Amino acid sequence: MARLGKKKNRVTEKILIFVEGSETEPNYLKVLKKKLRWHNVDVHSLQSLGRGKDWVQKAKRLLNSQRLAQVQQEAVYVLFDHDGMKRDQYEMLLASAQKESFKVVFSNVSFEIWLLAHYQEIFKTQYDNDMVKQKLSEYIKGSYSKADAILMAQLAQKHELALKNTQKVRTSSYEYNCTNVGDMIEEITVHRKRA
């Protein structure tokens, strides 16, 4: 009769990604998580924590909640976008994130600039949100919808192109189009390969 060995209680450290959106960002990241086999990554929407744009404080509140208080964290990312935010709010969020040792994932004008990068190279231009959505609609040959989980799944399958197409706009900027979603993806992927 074979002897059963004791299982080791190995604590898995989690990478937590807190997102401001309730559909687009979680849908995209959950597909990407599955595709890239990010088993230690959890995605949480901050949308249900009330109004306001203090995404770092909302992430901290959720992190300290009973649900996540026992989770060992490898890294914490807070993903948000410009969406008409005032400069002082933006600077306050960056400072607050640094104080908490959270990594900021910021897109100007919106997360959709990252999605657009799945089709074209992004430059430090000044697309507004309507222009970005119009361009996305042209590429998908239909009306872009934030809630389109099928589109998010299709886009996540070609994330490598978006990584390439955002090389010139990865530095966070309040004034110009930017997105460092690619930096987060690369950091998590490198971490997974080391683990």
Domains of the chain are: 14-194 (3.40.50)
Helix (H, G, I), strand (E, B) or coil at 106: strand
CB neighbours of residue 93 within 10 Å:
21
Spell out the alpha helix ranges (H) of 104-170: 112-116, 129-140, 149-156, 159-165
Tokens describing residue 151: 């589109």
The per-residue pLDDT for 53 is 81
The per-residue pLDDT for 68 is 81
When pLDDT is cut at 50, 70 and 90, the band that residue 7 belongs to is very low
Q: How confident is the prediction for the chain on average, in pLDDT? A: 90
For the chain, percent of residues with pLDDT exceeding 70: 92
pTM over 0.85: yes
Q: Distance between CA atoms of 1 and 179, rounded to whole angstroms? A: 58
Q: Distance between CA atoms of 72 and 92, rounded to whole angstroms? A: 26
| Residue 9 confidence (pLDDT) above 50 | no
Q: Please name the amino acid found at residue 60.
A: K
Express each pLDDT in 101-144 by its tens digit: 999 999 999 999 999 999 999 999 878 999 999 999 999 999 99
Spell out the alpha helix ranges (H) of the chain: 24-35, 55-63, 87-100, 112-116, 129-140, 149-156, 159-165, 181-194
What integer is the mean pLDDT of 138-153? 93
Q: For the ranges 77-81, 112-116, 125-129, 152-156, which has the lowest average pLDDT? A: 125-129
The per-residue pLDDT for 191 is 76
